Chains A and B, each alone.
Chain A
Amino acid sequence: MQNRQQAQAAGVRRTVIRSLAALLGMFAFAFALVPLYDVFCRITGINGKVDATAQSIVHEEVDTSRYVNVQFITRGSAGLPWQMSVEMRQMSVHPGQTAEVDFTFSNNSPYETWGRAVPSVSPSNATRHLRKVSCFCFEEQQLQGDERLTIPLVFQLARDLPEEINTITLVYTLYPVQETLRHTSLNGTRNNKKAARETI
């Protein structure tokens, strides 16, 4: 009887310790899922997040047999008094062809502010086939009060774009960049030869 109780107490202690270990493991796992999710999405491109670094143009034969409709959508966001517009809402390109389209940022406030346009591609399986040669989305932008800035996006659709994709939508959402979180990307934008700054 005594033995049985002791064995029971030891068993309970073992079970509790294992359960607590499992608990801590799962709590840590929940937080580990955050970076894992980012890595997974970057590798597969399935949440429409585009690589934020410039890719070089691949010189390949343009596939003139096929047109792909590329649409551009721009969206503002709360907390940033900017407006973003695009030269044309959509364009038709051949896979393999290099194309350029101008985007204009205007600061509607009299103050200097920082912002960033975050891209998203839909359908998500087109993400990896959209090569950006130069994009304002690679870095944060600074606009003086009432300034307007026109920057081109240079991109190329890869030849291996899946057959079933006829339309690609590229959405840019503007987000404010807090002073403290800002990176030193000022020079990058300033040196961009094609960027045309003017005051409204």
Chain B
Amino acid sequence: MTDKPLTRNITIGEPTDLSAYEASGGYQAIRSTIGKLSAADVLDMVKDSNLRGRGGAGFPTGMKWSFVPMDKTPDGPKGHKYLVCNADEMEPGAFKDRLILEHDPHQLIEGMILSAYTIDADIGYIFIRGEYHTAAKRLRDAIMEAKLKGYLGENILGTGYSFELYLHSSAGRYICGEETALLNSLEGKRAIPRAKPPFPQVSGLWGRPTIVNNVETLCNITHIVAFGADWFKSLGLGDDSGTKLFGVSGRVKNPGCWELPMGTPIREILEDHAGGMQDGYELKGFLPGGASTDFLLPEHLDLAMDYDTIMKAGSRMGTGTMIILDDKTCPVAMVRNLEMFFARESCGFCTPCREGLPWIYNILDDIENGRGRPEDIEILERQGAFIGAIGNTHCAHAPGAIEPLSSALKFFAEEFNQHIEEQRCPYSHASGPKSGRTH
């Protein structure tokens, strides 16, 4: 047993190879599960563990899996079910999955085999961010190792269960991280999110039942199966189970990524692990869960990092990778940069996102460069409300994009007004980003 199951094998440098992974108890969970426990037993374990998706939305994993139809479908190519690992970690400030992908690829593979067994999938894909070259190489090596050892492929360890695993490198769009856009991209189609329902569990990849899970989520399965649901629940400090990979970026002394109990107070992550603010910088605010979450303020530092607590505070835990805003950085410029990213990464399918985000970016760019107008704040608020609500847009991309903006307008209203009144940025950005359109 360990209190850091996800990172116990990780030492920065070379990845854990198969023998090292096996030596630490790796692939034992497969031997003890496949052919010995029924898929329904494993599903119950995952449900009991109260594991919630680590990709950002925090949806209960067991419940997600339970929607997969388990009746035996006719053989042949029409009969496939798919497990897809979402390793398209592309949001600004997020780098937690990379830690596992690069350093302990077998942990993911074992988690995927167990997960696939649970939903009776016969084919798996790891959809990895295009820029993760090192991770892709190490995963490819690991898949080959696992295959040679009989952990993957036809008739795994003689149990009669077969699971093929493929690695697919993304061509590089942030929207591919949205699970249904990911599926379209995997099919070779434009990376446009699909309307739900139908959910991928019913009609996913090539119209077949499909589960898409985040890297960290799938890795947790191995440990839940190995050590039990109760152990997993005991890892969390509050209501949420397990550990979480937390990250901090920005002007802190020790930016990085750590596996900590779910529910660890923000202050502990920021001060104990990230080493606190760099000298001469004060904390002004932070995005607790990555670029697409609402700003929180220093007054929120004592909140526990778990899904519900952060939600109640008006933000989201997202991927658990916070971005720190310091007092020497212009919040308008920061939000402008974020909106440039989101506008650029819109898939272009629905109107509010495609047209609305570039407009927001253009206004923010004007404000930051001394061309703001008094009515701009009202337009930003109106556009934010228009784009920001889930359901107003085709997927969650634009609502996510609005979270840092709407909270910044609320918390940093003075700075916005000052920019407009003084027709300049009050922060000195000698080397700050130049003005420009999104394209």
Q: Do A and B come from one complex?
A: no
Chain A residues at the B interface, C-beta cutoff of 8 Å: none
